[in-house]
């Protein structure tokens, strides 16, 4: 399951995310989204856990917790474009 992790500290690294989530299960991938030109963190990232049940537990336990002096926003990642109000799927 892919997990969105928001409100990340600027100094957070992919290794930090992997270490944080590894407590809950096998981390397949941990990525921090960065500005293309500068490489600076955009303050959010994604973690993919192998097991969905463990991922749901991680979301429950880590959402609204403090990590590197910032309160995390952790929830199930939605595909890009989902929930942004631009859904044209009901048009014929």
- CATH number of the domain bearing residue 28: 3.30.70.330
Global confidence as pTM: 0.85
In a domain, 62, yes or no: yes
Q: Say if residue 2's pLDDT is above 60.
A: yes
Q: Using alpha carbons only, what angle is made at residue 6 by residues 12 and 78, rounded to the nearest 5 degrees?
A: 130
Is 85's pLDDT higher than 50?
no
Are 74 and 63 in contact by the 8 Å Cβ rule? The answer is yes
CA 45 to chain centre: 4
Q: Is the pLDDT of residue 65 over 70?
A: yes
In a domain, 59, yes or no: yes
The parent domain of residue 65 ranges over 2-76
Question: Which own/partner contact pairs does 49-52 have at CB distance under 8 Å and 24+ positions apart?
Answer: 49/1, 49/3, 49/21, 49/24, 49/25, 50/25, 50/26, 51/1, 51/25, 51/26, 52/1
pLDDT one-digit tens code per residue, 38-59: 999 999 999 999 999 999 999 9
pLDDT tens digit sequence for 5-38:
999 999 999 999 999 999 999 999 999 999 999 9
């Amino acid at each position: 399951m892919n997990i969105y992790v928001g409100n990340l500290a600027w100094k957070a690294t992919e290794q930090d995310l992997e270490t944080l989530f590894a407590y809950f299960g096998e981390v397949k991938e941990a990525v921090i989204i960065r500005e293309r030109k500068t490489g600076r963190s955009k303050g959010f990232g994604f973690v993919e856990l192998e097991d969905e049940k463990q991922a749901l537990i991680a979301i429950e336990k880590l959402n609204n917790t403090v990590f590197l002096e910032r309160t995390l926003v952790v929830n199930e990642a939605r595909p890009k474009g989902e929930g942004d109000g631009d859904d044209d799927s009901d048009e014929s």
